[in-house]
Amino acid sequence: MKNVSTDKKEFWRSLKEYYDNPETFRNKINEFQDGVTDDFNPDELNKFSRRKFLALMTASAALTATACTNYRDKGEIIPFTNRAEGHLPGTPDYYASHINGKSVLVKVREGRPINIEGNPDHPVLSGRLDAQTPADLLNLYDPERLKNPSINTSSADWSVIDSEVLGILNKCADDNKEIALITHSVNSPTQFKLLEDFSKKYNSLKIYSYELVQNNRLKAWKNCYGNLDIPSISWDKAKIILALEADFLARDDNAIGNAILFAQNRDVMNSTEFNRLYAVEGGLSLTGMNADYRLPIRPDAQFHFVTALLNHFVIERKISFAKIPAAVENIISNYSLADFSNEFNVELKIIKNLANDLLTHQGSSIIYAGETLPVEVHTLVFLLNEVLANTKLYNFKSGFKYYNTATDFTDFKTLSEKLRKGEVGAVINFDANPVYHLPSAVDFADAFSKFANSISIVESENETSAISKYVLAANHELESWGDHQTRADLYELQQPVIAPLFDTRQKENILLTWLNGVYDEKAYHKYLMANFSEIIYKKQNTPVDVKTYWYNCLHDGFVELKNSYTSDGSFNLDNVSLSLPKIDKSNFVVHLQKSYFVGDGKFTNNGWLQEIPHPVTKITWDNYASISPLTADSLGVKNDDLIEIKTGEGNLTIAAFVQPGLPENTIVIELGYGRSVIGDVGKGTGFNANKLISIEPSNYIINKNVSVSKIGGRYKLVSTQEHHSLDDTFVKDFHKLRKIIREGSLEEYKNNPNFLHEDELHLVGITREHQYEGLKWGMAIDLNKCISCASCVTACNIENNVPVVGKDQVSRGREMQWMRIDRYYSGTPNAPEISNQPMLCQHCDNAPCENVCPVNATNHSADGLNQMAYNRCVGTRYCANNCPYKVRRFNFYDFREHLADAYYQNNLSNLIHNPEVTVRSRGVMEKCTFCIQRIMDARSEAIKENRELKGTDVVTACQSVCPTNAIVFGDINDKNSKVSKYREHKLGYHVLEELYVKPNVTYLAKLRNTHSEES
């Protein structure tokens, strides 16, 4: 480059310009410049003779040979001194426990929990799990967990802290000064009793309990029915479901239970009668993606919509219902469906269809409102269900159990004021994070930071503990005892599966110490057993003694109780005052929602959960403000632009994301991001939108005084959607044209079951076909049931030691998850139709990846698996290039070392690895193995029992957690197996069939349950 025309300009604009230079051309032909080799004289090189050189080489060779005669040390084997009976090193033990509000089985190898699976006997969850729960394991092995208690940030001894705190508490009791205990909602009977006992000892104790997203449904229920006995919903009996801002398949507390029941009416193998799901919502949610009809309306217009529906049924269709008070009737009589359709620009035909559906399916449909909707909407929804006799679907027998309603945010505001005035003697933060969670209107952080006697009991450092005087390190749930009752008829037990890793104590035990005055390691364990005997054992009338019963229940993980709620028909609206608010559609409305994966910020430091792509936008590691394409245009906003949202409650600067399917002037933001005191993984992820929550009453839909403006600057959001795209050419609906996604309507299928295969090509191969005798593994995924909840993604990550790569690497398309869920849009940006498809290695019979591997690291086994031998792989990446499904993942780094200064590479985090699967290093290709370790385990089990291996012996990790049973795995050579039947089904198809790679993953085409006149 030096030779390029120095007299002229320094740079070149194009390659042509560069190569046109004659000097460059000349330099290119001659390897060396003239005269370079002229002075060479070889004799000068011989500084020592050839003989000498040879002798030296031989000597060194001999030395090398001698040096090799030492045997390599192979380490030591250290056996137990006393091996516990029944425990066999090398084989896993399973313990029933309770994590993250779910009953689970914890898989323990050599004393360390390595996986969290569902409890298959559980009456509600039946062994299924969400994406969050298994990933909680990573919190146990988080290197930044608190390792010991501290006073004013310097570590202290437990006994010192205990005596100081006891002094404070006793002084408060003597002076009758308030002790504020802040906690999340309590669903453990024993913890509830402990708090009661605690407040008996310290009379001035006041308990404040809250959730980041307060349960408005429960509050409305209490207003309408006068009790907390809120029923669960029998989704399996619902023919028509109307979800109003309700993400009941994913964000609901009972989402897994809901999804299990919901999918039972989407099972094409059993019946062609599907339920019909209408979603009326602002933000595009997971439930909305799965809906047969989705109506985008502003979240603050829900009240109008329900009013209009009531008007339609009560006034227009004259369904009589005695309990409508005059005040309510006044509101509903003046607002018809047509009014609503006009005001909010919604197609009247769809709403009419919906109303007709609801009318013809009275008693077998359900209207369900989301938790974030205001109490008034819930009230009207309860009324609507009463009017339509849908209360038949209320399952009182297995109703939800709540011990109390949450403390209002306004009470927290009073607490802040009391803190300022010095009316409070001590604040105990009991495993919560009020400084981060509470809206800015509560003004808690400032008051708390100036308060002296602040005590935080937390697992890891958070915003609240950082400004607390006493920070008490609490156990992780896997190190703790506990019990839970979330249903009227179900009591669940939690047992520790590992001794505390650090100098921590169980949070309940800390309170118990202050209650009893002395510390006893087993105190809460005993307390729990005593309470169990009192509230469970004595009421169960069992012939066995209490200890045996206790061990049995611990083994099972739960007890089915004979309790149940009854519907007392006490629906009463007399004390409810309602009015139809006026909405200016040109105003912005902000909707704050729960996050899908990081919870209320508890999992912000959890790499696995941060890296699961958002079900809709596929964005990882951040939250953002979703806005509709039209509104984005009018604001001049593009993806990644920073916008400023000003509301009466506060200002927020946040990155924007243009999301199809949103109504105009609507902004949707997820909560739980933007933590300021957090470990290295969660640092700098997302924006804290908690401050925008309005507090009177607690409201997540803010439409007063909202202004939105674009400010300069950009923030990079990272989405996985454009990676691994199945086709480069951007053509509209290419996923349908390429037959990646194949769909139809239920009507179409009923009329012609073979509609999918009408235009089938008959493919002929030119290579010799392999014969597969005996077992051949295959998978089927029913897209009618799959709701794209990503449970399978976490389960696969944990089972197969899939690393976290970090936001920067995701932006380069280097995410490592073996299973991804592809999302495709079709239709228009304002009303997109969405198709989802879990994508994993298809284990093709004619696998294109195998042909191109220069070292034969990937090849085919006799049982139909596309195998990957990491030790052979040299990392050419030819296979990934040749894979039409783009499911191969390359280790560009040793990601454990690369992520956040080797955050997950330390003695603690390494304990999480599944010892049955190789931890891959840098430069190696990897992909789904169909859980080969589980196949080999099943095979060894079969040999042990001296029988043949059967297809049903193996359950893959993704299959075992799938809430809707959408994944089927087994032997496709066995014609009676479930997977063969899916394979032979009329709706079965293979992705990119025409490539003739003969994949072994069959997809069942999705059927939409639309109205017949539209299909």
Residues near another protein (CB under 8 A) are: 37, 40, 42, 45, 50, 53-54, 57-58, 60-61, 64-65, 68-83, 88-91, 859, 861-863, 865, 867-872, 916-918, 929, 932-933, 936, 939-940, 943-944, 946
Question: Closest CB to another protein among 678 and 931?
Answer: 931
Note whether 689 and 669 are within 8 A (CB): yes
DSSP conformation letters of 459-493 = SB--TTGGG-SEEEEBPPGGG--EEEEEETTEEEE
Note whether 235 and 364 are within 8 A (CB): no
Element (H, E) at 205: strand 205-210
The two three-digit tokens of residue 1004, written as one number: 């069942």
Q: 478 Cβ partners below 8 Å, 6+ apart?
A: 97, 99, 106, 113, 136, 137, 140, 496, 497, 498
Question: Closest CB to another protein among 717 and 873?
Answer: 873
Alpha-carbon distance of 382 to 1014, in angstroms, equals 31
3-state secondary structure of 745: strand
Alpha-carbon distance of 282 to 516, in angstroms, equals 52
Question: Closest CB to another protein among 39 and 728?
Answer: 39
Cα–Cα distances (Å) from 853 to 869, 882, 922, 995, in that order, read 11, 10, 18, 19
Alpha-carbon distance of 203 to 176, in angstroms, equals 8
Closest contact distance (angstroms) between CB of 945 and another protein is: 9
Question: Closest CB to another protein among 466 and 917?
Answer: 917
Closest contact distance (angstroms) between CB of 891 and another protein is: 14
Closest contact distance (angstroms) between CB of 526 and another protein is: 27
Closest contact distance (angstroms) between CB of 109 and another protein is: 11
Closest contact distance (angstroms) between CB of 901 and another protein is: 26
Closest contact distance (angstroms) between CB of 391 and another protein is: 53
Question: Closest CB to another protein among 79 and 712?
Answer: 79
Note whether 970 and 979 are within 8 A (CB): yes
The two three-digit tokens of residue 804, written as one number: 């976290």
Question: Closest CB to another protein among 815 and 916?
Answer: 916
Question: Closest CB to another protein among 60 and 153?
Answer: 60
Question: Closest CB to another protein among 160 and 943?
Answer: 943
Closest contact distance (angstroms) between CB of 804 and another protein is: 21
Chain position carrying tokens 């389960």? 795
Alpha-carbon distance of 439 to 702, in angstroms, equals 13
Under the phi-then-psi rule, with left for phi > 0, alpha for psi from -120 to 50, and beta for the rest, what region is 622?
A: beta
Alpha-carbon distance of 691 to 702, in angstroms, equals 12
The two three-digit tokens of residue 929, written as one number: 């193995």
DSSP conformation letters of 6-51 = TTS-S--SSHHHHHT-HHHHHHHH-SS-TTTTTT--GGGG-SS-HH
Alpha-carbon distance of 976 to 931, in angstroms, equals 22
Terminus-to-terminus CA distance in the chain, angstroms?
A: 65
Alpha-carbon distance of 1000 to 864, in angstroms, equals 8
Closest contact distance (angstroms) between CB of 107 and another protein is: 15
Closest contact distance (angstroms) between CB of 38 and another protein is: 8
Report residue 768: phi and psi, to 5°. Answer: -70, 135
Q: What's CA 267's distance to the chain center, in Å?
A: 24
| CA-wise closest residue to 165 among 473, 455, 523 | 455
Closest contact distance (angstroms) between CB of 931 and another protein is: 9
Closest contact distance (angstroms) between CB of 92 and another protein is: 10
3-state secondary structure of 724: coil
Q: Which residues pair with 631 in a beta bridge?
A: none
Closest contact distance (angstroms) between CB of 797 and another protein is: 16
Question: Closest CB to another protein among 11 and 80?
Answer: 80
3-state secondary structure of 796: helix
Question: Closest CB to another protein among 1 and 84?
Answer: 84
Question: Closest CB to another protein among 135 and 932?
Answer: 932
| CA-wise closest residue to 799 among 912, 907, 910, 965 | 912
Alpha-carbon distance of 827 to 549, in angstroms, equals 58
Residue 963 CB neighbour total at 10 angstroms: 29
Alpha-carbon distance of 172 to 180, in angstroms, equals 11
Q: 971 Cβ partners below 8 Å, 6+ apart?
A: 775, 776, 777, 778, 950, 951, 952, 977, 979, 980
Question: Closest CB to another protein among 42 and 712?
Answer: 42
Tally the C-alpha atoms within 13 A of residue 324's C-alpha that lie toward its C-beta: 24
The two three-digit tokens of residue 596, written as one number: 């899908």
Report residue 271: phi and psi, to 5°. Answer: -155, 160
Closest contact distance (angstroms) between CB of 817 and another protein is: 18
Chain position carrying tokens 């501290």? 150
Closest contact distance (angstroms) between CB of 774 and another protein is: 11
Closest contact distance (angstroms) between CB of 383 and another protein is: 57
The dihedral built from the CA positions of residue 964, 969, 975 and 980, taken in this order, carries a sign that is positive
Q: Give residue 48's identity as a one-letter amino acid code.
A: F
Closest contact distance (angstroms) between CB of 112 and another protein is: 16
Question: Closest CB to another protein among 69 and 320?
Answer: 69
Closest contact distance (angstroms) between CB of 957 and another protein is: 13
Closest contact distance (angstroms) between CB of 918 and another protein is: 5
Residue 634 CB neighbour total at 10 angstroms: 11
